[in-house]
Amino acid sequence: MEEACAGFTRFDFCQILDATENFSEKMIVGWGGFGKVYKGQLPGGLNVAIKRADEHAAMLEVNSELQLAKLQHANVIRLLGWCIHGKERILVYDFMQNGSLDRYIYDRTKGPMLNWSKRFKIITGLTEGIVYLHKHSMFWLVHRDLKPHNVLLDCNMIPKIADFGSARALSSDIAEEHTSRVVGTSGYKAPEYASRGVYSTKTDVFSFGILVLVIISGRKNTILNKQGDTVGDLVRDTWHMWKDQRLHELVDPLLGDRYEVTEIMRCAQVALLCAQEDPANRPTMTDVAAMLNSESISLPMEPKQPAKLIHGCADRDTTSTYMGQSSRTIEVTITSSAPMSTRVRIILDPEV
């Protein structure tokens, strides 16, 4: 750990105790990939976030977090220093006074503070941060747990990617690796990673796509595991809205009509491209940056239908049908103008 943190401030354990009031519970501001996070104040008045490793945390998780020590980007959280004291392993970061994105995006009171302009800047900032992780960080780093809780907001609402406890370095930007220990959060995990433990930079691309849809809609992406779901209801609903040219129904009601329709449409279509089931069909984050940063660039492809979706069973404005490929199950989704939908599951008699 000391070698990895060379060049960063080494804090004395007594400084850490003073800053956190002896790790007082009232100073806890969250939980990271391998431990609790405390708000602290250094003698000069600087507010910091102090991450204290859980005594049961795997050393691999701590070392993964230390990959961050070598990262320097405006949209990646900045490591300030560290402390080792006996079994204590502590990292000190910039403190983000506006907390995590999920505190705003799912909160009906705080949500209006994120107007569309701020949400769009969060989306583009995250894009730039992930491009850096994937291509310019010397590591080809895959975060593996991108979600609103791991996006921190500074005083200007600029997003900072945080919590690298699950991150892994690849041998190249097109490499695939396997793991028997799948981490991450349901609703954000790419299908190939959730089911087979396969991860690559395209794993983060999928998670980014979900993040964008959540930022636009204020909704969560629920995976219906018992129904063979792989991408989530938010992805499927958005795909219907995009196909039927009614993406305005996706927009968070808290935004009212104060948003750029063209930006919403472009962001939603890019998100659907990112959230496709087959990683080979997903764009790279460099492609995503190009598509979001230039209105003159036409989007190169249409997002494929989410798995199990079939057309033509009824009026497509009101009803869509999903049929399981490996079972005799038909799922019917009745979609109204509201962002929620009603599902009916019909199980047919097995074929003789």
CA 72 to chain centre: 20
| pLDDT confidence of residue 294 | 76
User: What pLDDT shows up at residue 2?
Assistant: 60
List residues forming the annotated binding site.
Answer: 51
Which residues make up each annotated binding site for ATP?
51
Q: Distance of CA 181 to CAs 20, 184, 203, 246, 310, Å?
A: 33, 10, 15, 40, 34
At position 288, the amino acid (one-letter code) is: V
Query: Token pair of 333, please?
Result: 């989704």
Task: Determine the Cα–Cα distance for residues 34 and 37; give it in Å rounded to an integer.
Answer: 10
Q: Is 145 a catalytic residue?
A: yes
Domain boundaries, the chain: 9-94, 102-306, 308-352
| Selection from 305, 338, 299 nearest residue 323 by Cα | 305
CATH architecture type of domain 102-306: Orthogonal Bundle (1.10)
Which residue type occupies 297?
I
In this prediction the pTM is 0.83
Q: From the candidates 54, 145, 287, 349, which is the catalytic residue?
A: 145
The DSSP secondary structure of 183-221, one letter per residue, reads: -S-TTTS-HHHHHH-EE-HHHHHHHHHHHHHHHHH----
Q: What is the pLDDT of residue 129?
A: 97
CA atoms within 13 A on the CB side of 276: 17
Residues in the chain: 352
Q: What pLDDT is recorded for position 69? A: 67
pLDDT along the chain (352 residues), means of 10: 68 95 93 83 91 74 67 91 87 93 93 95 98 88 95 96 89 90 92 95 98 97 84 95 94 92 94 96 95 77 76 34 35 41 42 35
Looking at residue 336, what is its pLDDT? 40
- Domain 9-94 fold is Phosphorylase Kinase; domain 1 (3.30.200)
